Amino acid sequence: MKLKFLLFFLSLFFLCAAFSACSRKPAEPDGFILGFSQIGAESAWRNCNTRSVQEAAAETGIQLLFFNAEQKQENQIKAIRSFIAYQVDVIAFVPIVSEGWENVLEEAKEANIPVLICDREINIDDKSLYSGYLGTNMFQQGQRSAEYLIKKFFDSQGNINFAGLAQETESNIPRSGANDPVKIVELSGTEGSSPAILRAQGFRDVLSEYPEFEIIYSESGDFLRSKGYELMCNILEKFSGIDVIYSHNDGMTLGAIDAMKERGIRPGEDIIIISIDGEQAAIDAMIRGEINCVVECNPKQGPDIMRLSKLLAAGEKIPPVIYMYEEVFTEWDDLSGIAPRGY
Ligand code: GYE
């Protein structure tokens, strides 16, 4: 009888061992496996970000498990759970929104898999749940956008003037009077995302010192060109005398420009336009005089993601925050020599 029990428990043990072995990722001859959850393909910027990650992985021989979440946080959480089940060496992801990541990051920590946050930031109390952040300084992008406006509307004596604006537009939108505030409309990014939150905060941080500026309306266009067009059509019906459009990404800006042109409004002349990202189409529009300022947001994060992931896979520490290098392009710059943007 005892022999029977012994044989039964031994077979049970080997069965479990065999199952756990087959569910484990195949041993890597060299290199390591990186699980990457991307949010989607909502803009030219995002597509460039994706290409940068995929090309950098191929160039460095890192095996990349890439999941596109199609703009859904729940898909990102599922992808991260599958990376954990597969026991990847490192997890990297772009959090579509800032909140709601605690549970899945707890699970990654319990599985002892380091996590690199990319591009967008998360709002979380326990910073030990991820190893570091690589992306762009979005609060500064908002500040830089506002700093352009100050330069545009204040003369060397510190007096505000509308010399930069056409006083009468072809569509007869009444221009702000000499003592009226500069009327700003904001096209915001995806609600709850760190770029939308931080770009709004940075912009207001600078303008809070200048009562001559007033943000008369703000609405999310979800970083989509189509929504930027729809928003602008509605805004031009709702408001007159708009002086400035502050747009959180080039995609929405280009859609808004289409809407303005359909109504005989000259973008960049009748309405000053500030846009964030720096995609080729926006730089081309600025060269045509249709955009006045483009604040760069650098999508080419792939090589740094691979470099940092390698360090994490080797058990090394990385800096908590690493920002990409970025510039500001304005209507006053000579853009004839600007390198092709690649997105
Ligand atoms: O500005 C926009 C993209 O997360 C910083 O997302 C990124 C933003 C970028 O859709 O074009």
Of all protein residues, the one whose alpha carbon is nearest to atom 6 of ligand 1 is 46
| pLDDT at residue 156, as a whole number | 76
Tokens representing 323 are: 């920002």
Distance 195 CA to ligand 1 centre (A): 7
Mutational test site, ligand 1, from 37, 39, 42, 43, max ligand atoms within 8 Å of CB: 43
Query: Is residue 27 over pLDDT 50?
Result: no
Distance 3 CA to ligand 1 centre (A): 65
Summarize pLDDT for 210-263 with one digit per residue, the tens: 999 999 999 999 999 999 999 999 999 999 889 999 999 999 999 999 999 999
Query: Is residue 275 over pLDDT 80?
Result: yes
Taking CB atoms within 8 Å and a gap of at least 24, the contacts of 162-170 are 162/243, 164/272, 165/243, 165/269, 165/270, 165/272, 166/266, 166/269, 166/270, 169/264, 169/265, 169/266, 169/270, 170/264, 170/265, 170/266, 170/270
* Rounded average pLDDT over 164-187: 66
**Residue 246 CB–ligand 1 contact under 6 Å:** no
166 pLDDT tier (thresholds 50, 70, 90): low
**Residue 310 CB–ligand 1 contact under 6 Å:** no
What pTM did the predictor assign? 0.89
Half-sphere exposure of 298 toward its Cβ, with a 13 Å CA cutoff?
17
**Residue 43 CB–ligand 1 contact under 6 Å:** yes
